[in-house]
Amino acid sequence: MCYNGRTSDRERDRATVTLLDLRGLTKAYPGVVANSDVSFSIGEGEIHALLGENGAGKSTLVKTIYGLVRPDAGDMTLAGQPFSPSDPRAARGSGIAMVFQHFSLFDALTVAENIALGMDNPPPRKQIAGRIREVSEKYGLPLDPDMIVGDLSAGERQRVEIIRCLLQSPRLLIMDEPTSVLTPQEVNILFETLRLLSEQGTSILYISHKLDEIRALCHRATILRLGKVVGECDPRATTSREMAEMMVGTVLQAPQRDYAEAGAEILCLKNLSAPAPHQFGTALKNIELTVRAGEVVGIGGVAGNGQDELVAALSGEMRTGEGMVVVDGASIGGLTPNARRKIGVCAAPEERNGHAAAPDMTLTENALLTGNTRMVLSKNGMLDWAKARDFADSIINAFDVRTPGTETTARALSGGNLQKFVIGREILQKPKVLVVNQPTWGVDAAAAASIRQALLDLAAGGSAVVVISQDLDEILEIADRFAALNEGRLSKPVSTKGLSIEEIGLMLGGAHDMEAAHAQA
């Protein structure tokens, strides 16, 4: 790979040999043109980034390449031949593979069983473990074929999906937001693998909102805005800020914050313990935490260390023992989510589709789902639809949710726009305590900045805010204090003033000296 100005042979080839060519692709949905006359090409062995703010049309485009969406107009060629896959099986047959943001794996089965299940023409069972080991060694992706998938980390689960793709020797590998669930170490491993694949001639189409990663990995980037190609650049020679500004067409504002004195204690977790809710869940162990009015506490940790369980214990989806979760001096561990909303405890879980929002319900109905109690959207047992619509509308306006309107179903929103809606719905209820898990997951740079600003503003207005996030930069940007969640245990929170990413990394690994060093901070 050439990062020093000289051009390697591979890089020259990449520039000249086109693998996939897209010409004039157009796809409209009711009320929105998702892709409008999109043309660009991907070279052989090229790592090509697809950039664009939420709703710009990235997923629609890759779904077209993968045979999940039929374009209204335009055409594609693959290695010079006309290419119009009628379904994903046909796309895979032509050498296109895709690793989705959400993994489709069976927890109770082994790695080898999962991989065999997901392949069109799996090798015989006896051979599959050997093939997995071969590919895993060749591409530096450590994975044991006999492990039960439920016991794997998010990074290892992703490797299962990648190895499944690699067993089919793809010519183009599409990756949609692959690093949002990975630790920094896992990101490095993934990037090494992708570079190796590229060196060997596999093309990669890479969707991400993490512009620093794009700069470190990709050879070329195509930028979409409102469904149209608005530019192309060499990410290695373009700053993250320049790329973000090309995406949104305006100048970005960094969130503004003051380190104000925190107020009275609002949320208090005392020796919070709870058994794992299911076989692959995590038990919460003796968690101690106090969050004051005006404070943002950031909780970091590798996925699967108790994040979901902690959100459930706070939101009321999981009940806990007397005195373990206390708000304004009252024990609330036995209250339902609705009873908690009534006293001002709101939460937004990580999974937006199916958990935070019901995919087949409209935005008005989804606004009602959690907003009914605090926004008083019903009277004498009758739903007040006009008021619910107004509430949905105010979320759409305040959080710049790109959608035709309140009667659109949640499913029809792009991932990032649904995320803005879900977070906005909770923030606009002005909760006393807000707990959010991965608040800017899959959200573009401009929208992430506005969500972070809204969380800071909520705290500045006197709320206690708990932000659980795997994005350490996000935590440093908005949290007053930081604690690490590790196998269901929470470290002692430390001030984020002067805290470095390296120190946080050590805390995530359970280095308790670091906790002690910062305990007085």
Ligand X SMILES: Nc1ncnc2c1ncn2[C@@H]1O[C@H](COP(=O)(O)OP(=O)(O)OP(=O)(O)O)[C@@H](O)[C@H]1O
Residues that bind ligand X (CB under 6 A): 29, 32, 34, 52, 54-60, 402-403, 412-417, 442
Smallest separation (angstroms) from ligand X to the CB of 416: 3
Q: Which residue is nearest to ligand X (CB)?
A: 416
- Between 318 and 412, CB nearer to ligand X: 412
- Residue 186 half-sphere exposure, CB side, CA atoms within 13 Å? 17
Dihedral of the CA atoms 329, 331, 333, 339 (nearest 10)? -80
- Between 60 and 440, CB nearer to ligand X: 60
Are 503 and 333 contacting, i.e. CB atoms less than 8 angstroms apart? no
Smallest separation (angstroms) from ligand X to the CB of 296: 25
Are 429 and 398 contacting, i.e. CB atoms less than 8 angstroms apart? no
Number of residues in the chain: 521
- Between 170 and 227, CB nearer to ligand X: 227
- Between 34 and 395, CB nearer to ligand X: 34
- Between 404 and 461, CB nearer to ligand X: 404
Smallest separation (angstroms) from ligand X to the CB of 420: 9
Contact partners, residue 500, CB within 8 Å, separation at least 6: none
Beta strands in 102-257 (DSSP E): 172-176, 203-207, 220-225, 228-233
- Between 267 and 401, CB nearer to ligand X: 401
In whole angstroms, give the CA distance from residue 475 to residue 452: 10
For residue 425, give both structure tokens.
């719905």
Tally of CB atoms within 10 A around 470: 23
- Between 97 and 224, CB nearer to ligand X: 224
Are 195 and 8 contacting, i.e. CB atoms less than 8 angstroms apart? no
Contact partners, residue 520, CB within 8 Å, separation at least 6: none
Smallest separation (angstroms) from ligand X to the CB of 492: 37
Smallest separation (angstroms) from ligand X to the CB of 370: 21
Secondary structure (3-state) at 60:
helix
For residue 386, give both structure tokens.
């006009």
Smallest separation (angstroms) from ligand X to the CB of 57: 4
State how far Cα 395 lies from the chain centre: 21
The DSSP code for 464 is: E
- Between 250 and 380, CB nearer to ligand X: 250
Smallest separation (angstroms) from ligand X to the CB of 381: 33
Smallest separation (angstroms) from ligand X to the CB of 408: 7
